[in-house]
Amino acid sequence: MIETEQEARKKVERALLVGIREADQSEAEIQEQLDELADLVRNLDIIPLEPVVVPLHQVQAQYYVGSGKAEEIAQLARECEADCLVFDTPLSPSQQRNWERMSKICVIDREEVILDIFAERASTREAVLQVELARLEYSLPRLTRAWTHLSRQHGGGATTRGEGETQIETDRRLVRRRIQMLKKELETVRRQRSTQRKARTRNDVPHGAIVGYTNVGKSSILRALSGAEILVKDQLFATLDPTTRRIELDGKRQLLLTDTVGFVRKLPHSLVDAFKSTLEEAVQADFLLLVLDISSPLLDAQWETTLAVLKELGAADKNIQIVFNKLDRIDPDRDAVLLARLNGLFPEALRISTRSGEGMPQLRRRLGEIAAARQRVLQILLPPQRHDLAALAHASGTVYEEEYNENGNLKMVLAIDERHWHKFQDYRI
């Protein structure tokens, strides 16, 4: 069943996008949403056609929109030879079936587009499991779409079922069984990730998570700070799995940074639930780097979406450091009004460009301040036989003063991470 739908999707080349304008929405808002939907569709190698916007005062059960407007859209799809209708709003399984019967072409909604993109991007075992779970939970109430070619062979009462109905029931049982297996496997993955987090906690190194809208440059920031080879692509949802790297800062300070999956407006709840083990990195982190694309016309929407997802995850009350990326795409004169507005709204925010390097030293300094907050300043007196602690102070901390007294004891003033300070406890003065 799943293979049949995927094969059918590969034949889709042109999509007519349909946006629903609620009474309280402006034309600009709808246009922004449709622009983003077009970007999502392009990531599936589908060509988006000129979109249709439908003003809606009340949702209709059969097609979501009125039957007259539905016929009009279906006719337009035929005229422009669209292979698919893509709705920016969620459709119920019955509405999706009604549209396909009436239009005679593939009909999907925004959620299915996002699920398909995630399926293409998934590479590691964890991401593959998470995406498969989300897709199966989405597909379960829609199985009849895949079996419309199977007709009822026997008429009669409710206990008499045809070949198609029997196959659908078999598929439902198989899908439910697979969903349960996937949930068990993902629970094992979550326990493993929890163990990894406990190990980081024992090391007591500050841990931050890079969060934000998809394709704002989170992976580029992690690569620039760590110097590690990390996948960086100019595409939506290039990163599905959390990637953690150790960052070396001035003053021999260290912290861990984790790149997380990008957010998007109207992120399917099935994906939020399925990606809990990935997104929990944001919940468990000591602080968050919230990255925004300063050059994006959807900047306000990205900010609102990111905050909404963080609230849903219970991470909105974290220490959040706002970082505006892609500063190289901004013209100070042309965008003076934007920059002034952002200065007023986010006076503590940093502006950087991973491409040009502008602002990166300031970001490293800010991270150094966060790491320094986890250090303690100690004044100690070490006996001659504890040269190991003197070496540890120089290797892992910052030594401000040191001198030997007449007895050969070493007096030191130093700043050391909390993970080491207890080793010096007996020698404090």
Instruction: Domain count for the chain, please give it.
Output: 3
Report helix, strand or coil for 231. coil
Which pLDDT score is estimated for 2?
Answer: 46
Tell me if 395 is assigned to some domain.
Answer: yes
**388 and 317 fall within a common domain:** no
Only one residue has tokens 């990166």, namely: 360
Which pLDDT score is estimated for 158?
Answer: 36
**242 and 265 fall within a common domain:** yes
CATH for 102 = 3.40.50.11060
pLDDT tens for residues 259-299?
A: 887 777 777 666 666 565 566 666 778 899 999 999 988 89
pLDDT tens for residues 326-377?
A: 999 999 999 999 999 999 999 999 999 999 999 999 999 999 888 877 777 8
Beta-ladder partners of 324: 292, 351
Which residues of the chain carry a pLDDT beneath 70?
Answer: 1-12, 123, 144-165, 194, 196-204, 229-242, 268-282, 419
**259 and 359 fall within a common domain:** yes
Which pLDDT score is estimated for 67?
Answer: 92
Which pLDDT score is estimated for 377?
Answer: 82
Please name the residues in contact with 385: beta carbons below 8 A apart, sequence gap of 6 or more.
Answer: none
Q: Are 193 and 408 in contact (CB under 8 A)?
A: no
Tell me if 146 is assigned to some domain.
Answer: no
Tell me if 228 is assigned to some domain.
Answer: yes
Which pLDDT score is estimated for 238?
Answer: 56
**Phi and psi torsions of 176, nearest 5°:** -60, -40
The residue among 323, 358, 353 whose CA lies nearest residue 212 is 323
Tell me if 174 is assigned to some domain.
Answer: no
**390 and 327 fall within a common domain:** no
Boundaries of domain holding 117: 2-121
User: Largest Cα–Cα distance in the chain?
Assistant: 106
Tell me if 181 is assigned to some domain.
Answer: no
Q: State the Cα–Cα distance between residues 200 and 210, nearest whole angstrom.
A: 17
Please name the residues in contact with 103: beta carbons below 8 A apart, sequence gap of 6 or more.
Answer: 73, 74, 77, 78, 85
Spell out the alpha helix ranges (H) of 242-298. Answer: 269-274, 276-284
**Phi and psi torsions of 406, nearest 5°:** -65, -20
Q: Give the Cα-Cα-Cα angle 106, 141, 77 (nearest 5 degrees).
A: 15
Which pLDDT score is estimated for 142?
Answer: 83
Q: State the Cα–Cα distance between residues 79 and 104, nearest whole angstrom.
A: 13
Buried b (16+ CB within 10 A) or exposed e, 53-65: bbebeeeeeebbb
Q: State the Cα–Cα distance between residues 267 and 339, nearest whole angstrom.
A: 29
The residue among 83, 87, 145, 146 whose CA lies nearest residue 113 is 87
**47 and 104 fall within a common domain:** yes
Strand 375-382 relative to strand 410-417, pairing: antiparallel
**364 and 227 fall within a common domain:** yes
Which pLDDT score is estimated for 125?
Answer: 78
Q: Are 179 and 42 in contact (CB under 8 A)?
A: no
Last residue of a domain, one of 68, 91, 121: 121
**216 and 357 fall within a common domain:** yes
**12 and 112 fall within a common domain:** yes
Q: State the Cα–Cα distance between residues 59 and 64, nearest whole angstrom.
A: 5
Neighbours of 210 (CB within 10 A): 29
CATH for 259 = 3.40.50.300
Amino acid letter, residue 397: G
Last residue of a domain, one of 89, 121, 153: 121
**330 and 385 fall within a common domain:** no
Tokens of 131: 């995406």
**387 and 343 fall within a common domain:** no
Which pLDDT score is estimated for 149?
Answer: 37
Q: State the Cα–Cα distance between residues 284 and 196, nearest whole angstrom.
A: 12
pTM greater than 0.75 (yes/no): no
**359 and 246 fall within a common domain:** yes
Q: Are 239 and 218 in contact (CB under 8 A)?
A: yes
The residue among 72, 252, 276 whose CA lies nearest residue 193 is 276
Tell me if 236 is assigned to some domain.
Answer: yes
Last residue of a domain, one of 88, 121, 154: 121
Neighbours of 22 (CB within 10 A): 12
Which pLDDT score is estimated for 148?
Answer: 45
**289 and 219 fall within a common domain:** yes
Which pLDDT score is estimated for 154?
Answer: 37
Tell me if 128 is assigned to some domain.
Answer: no
pLDDT tens for residues 94-125?
A: 999 999 999 999 999 998 998 888 887 776 77
Burial tier of 208 (Cβ tally within 10 Å: 0-12, 13-18, 19+): buried
Tell me if 75 is assigned to some domain.
Answer: yes
Which pLDDT score is estimated for 164?
Answer: 47
Report helix, strand or coil for 47. strand
Beta-ladder partners of 428: 380
